[in-house]
Amino acid sequence: MDDLIVPGVLELYGSDARKFRGLIRSVEDTFDGMGFDQISPGLLGQDRIFKENLDFLGERFLDNLVYVGLKKEEGVVILPEGTMRTYDFIKRNELEQARIFYCQQFVRNEDPREVAEGKTRNFWQAGCEIFGYDWLNSSVDVMTTAYSIMESAGLPDAVVRFTDKRLLYGLINSFPIAEQEKIRKNIENADDDSTKFLELCTSVQDGEREHVSAIASFLDLAKTDLSLDSLKDISTNEVYQEGIQDLVRLSRALPSNVNQQVLPFMAKSWDACDKLLFDVRVGDYSGALAGGGNLTYNHYMPEKIKSGMGVGVTRLFEVQTQRGK
């Protein structure tokens, strides 16, 4: 086949395109079977949707936007993701409850160096947002739906990994604010790895070393056969224990067919999620195939519970291809 016309923009042909179309169908059918309503927002959107939500997305997200030159129109972009577009729809239509899913292609303005290393500029992503329903059921629904999509894609070995932000908060909320921020940043940069975390903390002051050592030991728990009982005994902090109690409720409420793993901490989506954080992985693929949690989106009815997740359909297809499916 010819080289790609635009680097990072993949094209599929013949049997590959047919298989990919079948995967998209199975993803959409799973959402339908779980009782979600589909939104098809089109290719384009306004940049204001993302500029208004930088507290959720992060300042650097604007670098992802690809602008389109339309006659007499300004601020038009190719949609880079689906969550903010879905909540814009919920807000404009003043919905009080919603169970919405999307499944389409998105485009991001990725760094050419990362594209040269294999990152794609266009990708298919599916996702769902549950707005205005109770915490336990909506949390279980997004995790169960993610796992069901893996099963429908022929990946029954997928594992739903989840944690609660309050565990780490409970351990560090007595530390000085500056130290809390430093610890969180170093954990994220270390990708949850305790060894890398300690390497990043070499410049800490003497009074912080005990705290750093304790957090490293906490991260190390992810390498063990971790149980909720063992996590429960680590701290008596009230915030920490509230997180443990909700993890117990979630673990018990998940269907028995869902492979689950409790983690002490997850850096991914820390700022975008509140309480629950989760992802879905398979053993022979290094990245997450899906992820989400309880969202911190506060620009519409902030008192309402918001749970959501996204599925990397392009990544799913990569795994299927690697496994010869």
Predicted pLDDT at 258:
97
Residues 109 and 92 in one domain: yes
Asked if residue 207 has pLDDT above 70, the reply is no
Same domain, 251 and 262: yes
* Same domain (yes/no): 88, 179: no
Confidence grade of residue 23 (pLDDT, cut at 50, 70, 90): very high
Q: What is the pLDDT of residue 1?
A: 44
Give this prediction's pTM: 0.92
User: Is the pLDDT higher at 322 or at 56?
Assistant: 322
Q: pLDDT of 215-265, one tens digit each?
A: 888 888 888 878 898 899 999 999 999 999 999 999 999 999 999 999 998
- Give the pLDDT score at 197: 86
Amino acid identity, position 41: P
Per-residue pLDDT at 69: 92
Q: What amino acid is encoded at 100 in this protein?
A: I
pLDDT attached to residue 206:
60
232, part of any domain: no
Q: Are residues 183 and 167 in the same domain?
A: no
- The residue that leads in pLDDT, 284 or 144, is 144
Let me know if residue 302 belongs to a domain: yes
Q: Of 226, 253, 231, which Cα lies nearest the Cα of 241?
A: 231
Q: Is the pLDDT of residue 2 over 60?
A: no
3-state secondary structure at position 300: coil
1: in domain: no
- 77 and 214 part of one domain: no
75 domain residue, yes or no: yes
221 vs 225: CA distance, rounded Å: 8
* CATH code of the domain covering residue 48: 3.30.930.10
Encoded amino acid at 322, one letter: Q
Q: In angstroms, how far is the first alpha carbon of the chain from the final one?
A: 21
Q: For the residues 9-24, what does the mean pLDDT come to? A: 95
Contact between residue 23 and residue 316 where contact means Cβ atoms under 8 Å apart: yes
Residues 123 and 155 in one domain: yes
Domain total in the chain: 2
Residue 205, pLDDT score? 63
Task: Tell me, yes or no, whether 31 and 116 share the same domain.
Answer: yes
Q: Which helix (H) or strand (E) holds 100?
A: strand 98-107
Give a yes or no: residue 158 inside a domain.
yes
229 within some domain: no
Confirm whether 10 is domain-assigned. no
Burial of 109 (0-12, 13-18, 19+ CB in 10 A): middle
pLDDT tens-digit series, residues 286-324:
889 999 999 988 889 999 999 999 999 999 999 999 998
Alpha carbon distance 37, 102 (integer Å): 9
Instruction: Clarify whether residues 251 and 105 are in a common domain.
Output: yes
Give the residue among 3, 1, 30, 31 at the shortest CA–CA distance from 17. 1
Q: Provide the pairing of β-strand 98-107 with 37-38.
A: parallel
211 pLDDT band, cuts 50/70/90, is confident
- Mean of the pLDDT values across residues 196-223? 80
Same domain, 27 and 112: yes
Question: Is residue 179 exposed (0-12), middle (13-18) or buried (19+ Cβ within 10 Å)?
Answer: middle
Of 183, 202, 224, the last residue of a domain is 224
**Taking all residues of the chain, what is their mean pLDDT, rounded to a whole number?**
92
Residues 245, 123: Cα–Cα separation, whole Å:
37
Q: Both 195 and 243 in a single domain? A: no
Judgement on whether residues 36 and 141 belong to the same structural domain of the protein? yes
DSSP codes, 179-244: HHHHHHHHHHHTTT-HHHHHHHTTT--GGGHHHHHHHHHHHHGGGS---HHHHHTS---HHHHHHH
- Give 77-136 pLDDT, tens digit per residue: 999 999 999 999 999 999 999 999 999 999 999 999 999 888 899 999 999 999 999 999
Is there a single domain that holds both residue 43 and residue 84?
Answer: yes
Q: Determine, yes or no, domain membership for 4.
A: no
pLDDT score recorded for residue 161: 95
Domain span holding position 200: 175-224
